[in-house]
């Protein structure tokens, strides 16, 4: 991968994506983009934690909901697979122009490839790949996906990432001070597959239809709940290069090679600006906070209305008082539809059923949600 300085990256982004900068009340600069407008958007859940064939097919105003009950026909001996992880196929339309994106890749290529085939989704039609953050349950299926499908995909295939931190080694606490590996994104493997990483801690416009939030500032009551640990630095040609981080200064302790609590410096949201309806914000995991991600999407676009909040909210480990305070603030944001997936947690589902039943839409592997159609 060609190293790109922060200055060059900002210049390139400004040229391609109309990036500007504004100052908030505290004097901090917030990058601004001209968010492209799409007429319609369809999001299909390729991989999530369960496939419920009895899930409600009830419709809600403003969204077309399609459920996959079973394969039937010639695929009757096969089934959609579910696993801990997330992968979303997103199709947007602007006039007659259609764009297709695959956001995250679940834990394994076997599950991802199986489900893509059964759902009739052709990777050869993809315009771009997006990775929300460097966790194995979101990039683990990428190698197997590329091994099977890369020869048929377009030559200039880009993978949009939030920043260098995506390549860091992740670890999971195993108890008694020990750690087990949680994988790391393989940069040489991406180069071998002719995948071009597009790293930016500032917002990026994706193929003229979608955009990323860039790094999510921690400005609300939310905090990063316990999850993985991170190791800064490179070993054996793999890992992350601290010298490439945008404006972040590492301490000697951080560079000492020891696992540290993961703050997800690179994690970003993926968003669409849906004509006449507002923003569709996809958090994937949202370790930096779902409220923070919404605020970031609003700040970088100047668009206040949020039509839909979709993805994992990483509230499964949240104590109930903390979850209640998040829900109380979410209710003030006037989000039309909330689609909890992956790591949102049964505790979030129960709270949402009680507090925002009119906005809640249940999700399962295979479900397809269409907006603006």
CB neighbourhood size of 2 (10 A): 5
Whether pLDDT at 253 is above 50: yes
Query: What is the structure's pLDDT at 11?
Result: 33
Distances (CA, A) of 346 to 23, 90, 294, 342, 368: 38, 25, 22, 10, 21
Which residue shows structure tokens 């008082």?
Answer: 321
Say what percent of the chain tops pLDDT 90.
Answer: 82
Q: Each residue of 1-45: pLDDT tens digit?
A: 333 333 333 333 333 334 565 555 444 688 999 999 999 999 999
| Residues 237 and 332: beta-carbon distance below 8 Å | no
Query: What is the rounded distance in angstroms from the CA atom of residue 281 to the CA atom of residue 10?
Result: 23
Tokens coding 302: 């100047």
Query: What is the rounded distance in angstroms from the CA atom of residue 194 to the CA atom of residue 206?
Result: 18
Distances (CA, A) of 95 to 134, 274, 275: 34, 12, 11
| Residues 281 and 345: beta-carbon distance below 8 Å | no
Query: What is the structure's pLDDT at 226?
Result: 87
Query: What is the structure's pLDDT at 28?
Result: 61
Query: What is the rounded distance in angstroms from the CA atom of residue 287 to the CA atom of residue 296?
Result: 14
The domain segmentation of the chain, as residue ranges, is 6-371
Sheet holding 260-261, edge to edge: 178-181, 169-175, 229-231, 260-261
CATH of domain 6-371: 3.60.15.10
What's the average model confidence in pLDDT over 269-291?
A: 97
CA nearest 128: which of 171, 97, 93, 89?
89
Query: What is the structure's pLDDT at 293?
Result: 98
Query: What is the structure's pLDDT at 141?
Result: 98
3-state secondary structure of 75: helix
Q: Each residue of 73-130: pLDDT tens digit?
A: 556 678 999 999 999 999 999 999 999 999 999 999 999 999 999 999 999 999 999 9
Tokens coding 142: 């990428």
Query: What is the structure's pLDDT at 45?
Result: 98
Tokens coding 170: 């992740």
Q: Each residue of 145-174: pLDDT tens digit?
A: 999 999 999 999 999 999 999 999 999 998
Q: Specify the higher pLDDT residue, 295 or 249.
A: 295
What's the average model confidence in pLDDT over 219-244?
A: 92
Conformation bin of residue 207: beta by default, left when phi > 0, alpha when psi is -120 to 50: left
């Amino acid at each position: 991968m060609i190293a790109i300085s922060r200055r060059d990256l900002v210049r390139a982004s400004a040229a391609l994506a109309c990036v500007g900068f504004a100052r908030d009340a505290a004097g901090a600069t917030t990058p601004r983009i001209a968010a492209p407008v799409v007429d319609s958007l369809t999001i299909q859940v390729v991989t999530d934690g369960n496939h419920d064939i009895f899930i409600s097919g009830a419709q809600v105003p403003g969204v077309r909901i399609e459920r996959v009950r079973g394969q039937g026909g010639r695929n009757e001996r096969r089934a959609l697979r579910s696993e801990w992880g997330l992968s979303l196929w997103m199709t947007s339309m602007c006039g007659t122009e259609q764009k297709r994106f695959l956001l995250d890749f679940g834990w394994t290529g076997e599950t991802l490839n199986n489900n893509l085939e059964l759902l009739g989704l052709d990777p050869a039609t993809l315009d771009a790949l997006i990775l929300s953050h460097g966790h194995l349950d979101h990039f683990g299926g990428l190698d197997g996906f590329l091994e099977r499908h890369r020869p048929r995909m377009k030559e200039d295939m880009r993978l949009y990432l939030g920043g260098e931190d995506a390549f860091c080694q992740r670890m999971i606490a195993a108890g008694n001070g020990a750690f087990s590996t949680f994988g790391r994104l393989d940069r040489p493997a991406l180069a071998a597959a002719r995948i071009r990483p597009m790293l930016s801690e500032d917002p990026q416009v994706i193929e003229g239809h979608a955009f990323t939030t860039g790094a999510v500032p921690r400005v609300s009551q939310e905090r990063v709940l316990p999850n993985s640990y991170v190791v800064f630095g490179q070993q054996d040609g793999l890992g992350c290069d601290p010298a490439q981080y945008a404006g972040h200064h590492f301490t000697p302790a951080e560079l000492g090679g020891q696992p540290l609590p993961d703050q997800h410096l690179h994690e970003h949201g993926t968003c669409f600006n849906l004509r006449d309806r507002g923003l569709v914000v996809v958090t994937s995991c949202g370790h930096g906070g779902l409220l923070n991600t919404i605020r970031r999407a609003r700040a970088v676009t100047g668009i206040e209305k949020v039509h839909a909040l979709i993805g994992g909210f990483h509230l499964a480990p949240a104590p109930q008082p903390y979850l209640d305070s998040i829900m109380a603030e979410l209710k003030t944001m006037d989000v039309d539809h909330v689609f909890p997936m992956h790591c949102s947690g049964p505790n979030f589902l129960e709270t949402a059923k009680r507090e925002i039943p009119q906005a809640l839409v249940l999700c399962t592997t295979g479900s397809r949600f269409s907006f603006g159609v």
